[in-house]
Amino acid sequence: MADWPAPRRPAAHAEEMLLTAILDGTFPPHSALPAERELAARLGVTRPTLREALQRLHRDGWVTIRQGKPTRVNDVWREGGLRVLSAMVRFGRQLPDNFVTNLLEIRLVMAPAYTRAAVALAAADVVSCLAGYEQLDDRPESLAAFDWRLHHTLTLLCGNPIYTLMLNGFSGFYEEMARLYFRRPEARAVSRAFYGELLAAARRGDAQEAGVIVEAVMKRSIALWQEVWP
């Protein structure tokens, strides 16, 4: 691993570089990080700055700091939590294979549930959120922003704030991936049809049908994503 350039924001820089090194396998699970003096020199930061970065990584589950022993890299897929996922989105330059597909599969599980609850509890608000979707221009950026607002609103209306907290952890990443997804005309057409079907179900107050509609489009979106990014 080559020496890294001096950072502008030392602690954040050190944290990002260490996360990237963990994700790309430079520091694999269960390995020990280099001694503090060596690692600080390679990162171009002071030892107090390195300690601050390591404390953040320890807090988020990436490493285990052991008094008098080398800092250990955790197996985050077995030992990590939601903070690990959030950090991957923020700092991960080399995300694991199938990362986006795995996230879409989680959304497949969650979205029908929070959509059913949102329509059951606040159908008029769901209608209001979807109203005007026909006037959306056909740019990927516009569809991505609208899709984010829709799902964020559905989580706010569903009565379970945990859904919103989980979705918020991927806000910027969500739209970035959605812009890629919506580059395909077929993807834009599928989502426009989905918005119309969901709007009709919300107007009827049919929560169960709304859940079925969302589940179907989530499965279709996974298939469309995998056709281009298997």
pLDDT for 74 beyond 70: yes
Encoded tokens for 227: 């056709």
Query: Is there a shared CATH topology between the 10-81 domain and the 99-228 domain?
Result: no
Q: Which fold has domain 99-228?
A: Four Helix Bundle (Hemerythrin (Met), subunit A) (1.20.120)
Can you state the angle between helices 161-168 and 99-130, rounded to 10 degrees? 120
Distance in angstroms (rounded) separating the CA atoms of residues 199 and 58: 45
Selected from 3.50.50.60, 3.90.480.20, 1.10.390.10, 1.10.10.10, the CATH number assigned to the domain covering 10-81 reads 1.10.10.10
219 contacts 108 by C-beta, under 8 angstroms: yes
Query: What is the model's pTM?
Result: 0.77
| Interatomic CA distance for residues 74 and 23, integer angstroms | 11
Stretch 182-204: mean pLDDT? 97
Domain ranges of the chain: 10-81, 99-228
Nearest to 153 by CA among 179, 132, 129: 129
Average pLDDT over residues 201-218: 98
Per-residue pLDDT band for 94 (boundaries 50, 70, 90) equals: low
What percentage of the chain exceeds 70 in pLDDT?
93
pLDDT-based confidence at 98, cuts 50/70/90? confident
Per-residue CA distances from 125 to 7, 66, 116, 203 (Å):
46, 51, 13, 10
Q: Specify the pLDDT at position 5.
A: 56
- pLDDT for the residue 7: 45
The whole-number pLDDT of residue 93 equals: 59
